[in-house]
């Protein structure tokens, strides 16, 4: 049961008295300099942004693995009423709207009636790295860990839509999950894709990540996977697919998750963009995995530098590394590609001659020449892809 | 939410109550404790169990007394954790005001205009900074 139900059941006063006697996260307002670590059901220790609804960030060291473990994969919900119990005997994925044959599919049906389809793909929160924007902007104060790479297995959305027999004239397809708003005035979290995108054969309904069932807080029993697009479209605990003969419209697409229409979603704090569009494909970026910030390296011997880089599916073709604050750049070695929507690992070896403080930088470029930005800002803190940097000490 | 989902009331309540007063299994660091000592036992041990349930941990960080605290606790925490405040950097009055107004005007928080100001003052008192004159306006979603 969820907390909201509990409060409704016994009343706020009773709940307060009860929780007062429980163990709980001991945070002190305004004084926290180190992140709180927390362990949610089916998850390992993760960085706690918020607990209700949960927003959990992946500790950087998990990115030393090509596939992010399910237990460490980042979590981000919008609405207080998140699903905490699912009965697979009664759960159905409802496909309706502008179709000839509405469907009610169980998870068993998805397993048994369709060819399994797998894809390795990065899922990244629109606001990943938000805490690095200056001036700071309100929202989830993520560092670089609102991202993960997983092998997703399930059914291409196209196969499901074909089974439902989409009628001519379909425009959009909307996706709703089991989460529910805490007040009637809060818009339910529903997202949509164009019918062409929905039928591209890559957008999929996943019942497994890394060959295991999804953790509840990552969208059990099924979630939408939209390769190359920001996580806001990857609707969790997916329960309703609706084909529409007109453009979809709601708060979460008309007002939220919009970016300035100009290059790389950038605008000036002093001159906010007038035209905005829905956030969509990933830009190209890299993340330093090793060394971690403030790590101490050693002079006179090779130090291994490592990171990941990804884009929206064109493929990372080059990563350059600088160890002198951007003065000179050398090519990093790239690991083999794991798929066009996967991230790609890069490595370099660095032998600093002298002790001291250094700023390491990394710049990824994809197959169509998209690269990382020199500077970037938008009011929502979306799409961070400034050239990566990490400050380290050589001792 | 669809009616196909059952909230397992009795099970969840039992686990919630049982979780209280027991030692945390989570972290050796006292700053990181959380009451999910019994969360793991709530998970289905058999993969073929058709009902999959978890119990969410809870977080009640202490908030310092001050004008507007009661309004904050009553109006804000019903929909989201107070960590939505504490995870933010120190924002100016203008930015916090924009955030609180958004809660009222966009999300329909049940607060009067007077309470908007009281809550804003409280947020500034616990996590604010002087106005810079160019406060970034809040936004929607993330």
Report the number of distinct structural domains present in chain A: 2
Output the pLDDT for position A294: 83
Mean pLDDT (whole number) for B127-139: 66
**Chain A residues with beta carbon closer than 8 angstroms to that of B86:** 27, 29-30, 32
In a domain, A148, yes or no: yes
Determine the pLDDT at residue A14: 31
User: Are residue A142 and residue A192 in the same domain, yes or no?
Assistant: yes
Summarised one tens digit per residue, pLDDT across range A115-170 is: 999 999 999 999 999 999 999 999 999 999 999 999 999 999 999 999 999 999 99
Identify the CATH homologous superfamily for domain B69-129: Cytochrome c-like domain (1.10.760.10)
Query: Pick from A256, A276, A294: which residue ends a domain?
Result: A256
Centroid of chain to Cα A8: 32
pLDDT score for B60? 73
List, as ranges, residues 154-213 from A with C-beta within 8 Å of B: 178-180, 182-186, 213
**A20-35 average pLDDT score:** 48
Residue A191 CA: distances (Å) to CA of A86, A250, A327, B25: 22, 8, 43, 37
For residues A250 and A339, membership in a common domain is answered with: no
Give yes or no: residues A310 and A244 share one domain. no
- Verify whether the Cβ–Cβ distance A52 to B39 is below 8 Å: no
Q: What is the pLDDT at residue B131?
A: 75
A134 touches chain B (CB under 8 A): no
Closest chain A C-alpha to B122 CA, distance in angstroms: 12
Nearest CA in chain B to A256: B140
CA atoms within 13 A on the CB side of A112: 5
Residue A80 phi/psi, 5-degree rounding, is: -60, -35
ipTM: 0.85
Asked whether residue A101 falls in the same domain as residue A243, the answer is: yes
CB atoms within 10 A of CB B77: 16
Q: In the predicted model, is pLDDT for residue A192 greater than 50?
A: yes
How many whole angstroms from its chain centre is CA A210? 16
Would you list the domain boundaries of chain B?
1-58, 69-129
Cross-chain residue pair A137–B139, CB shorter than 8 Å: yes
Mean pLDDT along residues A294-312: 96
Same domain, A180 and A296: no
Contact A170, A329 (CB under 8 A): no
Rounded to 5°, the CA angle B9-B13-B17 comes to 180
Given a cut of 50, whether residue B20 has pLDDT beyond it is: no
Domain that holds residue A232: 93-256
* pTM confidence score: 0.86
What pLDDT is attached to residue B5?
36
Higher-confidence position of B128 and B24: B128
Of A21, A25, A382, the CB nearest to B21: A21
Could you tell me the CA-to-CA distances from A343 to A24, A62, A121, A257, A339 in Å, in that order? 36, 14, 7, 23, 8
Give the model's confidence band at A314: pLDDT under 50 very low, under 70 low, under 90 confident, else very high: very high
Which residues on A lie below 8 Å from B29 (Cβ)?
Answer: 37
Residue B15 has pLDDT above 50, yes or no: no
- Is the pLDDT at B113 greater than 90, yes or no? yes
Average of pLDDT values for A342-352? 98
* pLDDT confidence of residue A338: 97
- Report the percent of chain A where pLDDT is more than 90: 90
* pLDDT (tens digit per residue) in A246-281: 999 999 999 999 999 999 999 999 999 999 999 999
Residues A140 and A203 in one domain: yes
Query: DSSP states of A135-189 as a string?
Result: S--SS----S-SEEEEEEEEEEHHHHHHHHTBPTT--EEEEEES-B-SSTTSPP-
- Helix B9-19 and helix A3-10: axis angle, to 10°? 90
Q: What angle separates helix A12-20 from helix A3-10, to the nearest 10 degrees? A: 110
A92 chain-B contacts, CB cut-off 8 A: 2, 4
User: Helix (H, G, I), strand (E, B), or coil: what is residue A107?
Assistant: helix
Number of H helices, E strands in chain A: 6, 25
């Amino acid at each position: 049961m969820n907390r909201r139900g509990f409060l409704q059941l016994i009343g706020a006063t009773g709940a307060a008295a009860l929780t007062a006697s429980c163990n709980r996260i001991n945070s002190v307002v305004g004084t926290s300099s180190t992140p709180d670590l927390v362990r949610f059901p089916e998850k390992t220790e993760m960085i706690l942004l918020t607990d209700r609804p949960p927003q959990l960030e992946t500790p950087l060291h998990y990115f030393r693995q090509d596939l992010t473990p399910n237990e460490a994969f980042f979590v981000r919900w919008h609405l207080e009423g998140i699903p905490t119990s699912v009965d697979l005997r009664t759960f159905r994925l409802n496909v309706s709207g502008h179709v000839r044959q509405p469907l009610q599919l169980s998870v068993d049906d998805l397993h048994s009636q369709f060819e399994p389809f797998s894809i390795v793909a990065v899922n990244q929160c629109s606001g990943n790295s938000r805490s690095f924007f200056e001036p700071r902007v309100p929202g989830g104060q993520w560092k670089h860990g609102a991202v993960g790479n997983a092998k997703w297995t399930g059914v291409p959305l196209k196969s499901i839509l074909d089974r439902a027999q989409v009628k001519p004239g379909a425009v959009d397809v909307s996706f709703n999950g089991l989460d529910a708003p805490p007040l009637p005035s809060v818009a339910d979290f529903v997202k949509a894709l164009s019918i062409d995108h929905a039928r591209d054969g890559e957008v999929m309904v996943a019942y497994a990540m890394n060959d295991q069932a999804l953790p509840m807080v990552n969208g059990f029993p099924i979630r939408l996977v939209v390769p190359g697009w920001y996580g806001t479209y990857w609707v969790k605990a997916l329960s309703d697919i609706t084909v529409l003969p007109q453009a979809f419209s709601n708060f979460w697409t008309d007002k939220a998750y919009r970016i300035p229409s100009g290059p790389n979603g950038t605008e000036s704090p002093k001159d906010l963009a007038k035209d905005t569009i829905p956030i969509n494909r990933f830009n190209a970026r890299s993340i330093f995995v090793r060394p971690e910030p403030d790590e101490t390296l050693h002079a006179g011997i090779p130090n291994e530098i490592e990171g990941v880089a990804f884009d929206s599916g064109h493929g990372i073709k080059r990563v350059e590394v600088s160890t002198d604050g951007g003065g000179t750049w050398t090519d990093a070695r790239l690991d083999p590609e794991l798929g066009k929507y996967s991230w790609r690992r890069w490595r370099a070896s660095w032998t600093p001659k002298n002790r001291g403080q250094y700023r390491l930088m990394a710049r990824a470029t994809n197959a169509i020449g998209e690269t990382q930005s020199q500077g970037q800002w938008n009011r929502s803190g979306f799409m961070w892809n400034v050239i990566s940097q990490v400050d380290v000490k050589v001792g | 939410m669809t009616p196909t989902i059952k909230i397992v009331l009795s099970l969840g309540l039992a686990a919630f109550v049982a979780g209280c007063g027991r030692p945390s299994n989570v972290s050796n660091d006292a700053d990181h404790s959380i009451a999910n000592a019994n969360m793991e036992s709530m998970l289905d041990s058999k993969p073929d169990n058709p009902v999959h349930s978890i119990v969410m941990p809870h977080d009640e960080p202490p908030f310092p007394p001050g004008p507007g605290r009661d309004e904050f606790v009553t109006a804000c925490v019903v929909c989201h954790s107070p960590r939505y405040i504490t995870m933010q950097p120190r924002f100016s009055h203008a930015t916090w005001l924009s955030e609180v107004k958004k809660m009222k005007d966009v999300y329909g928080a049940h607060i009067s205009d007077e309470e908007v100001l009281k809550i804003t003052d409280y947020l500034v008192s616990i996590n604010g900074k002087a106005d810079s004159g160019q406060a970034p306006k809040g936004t929607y979603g993330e």
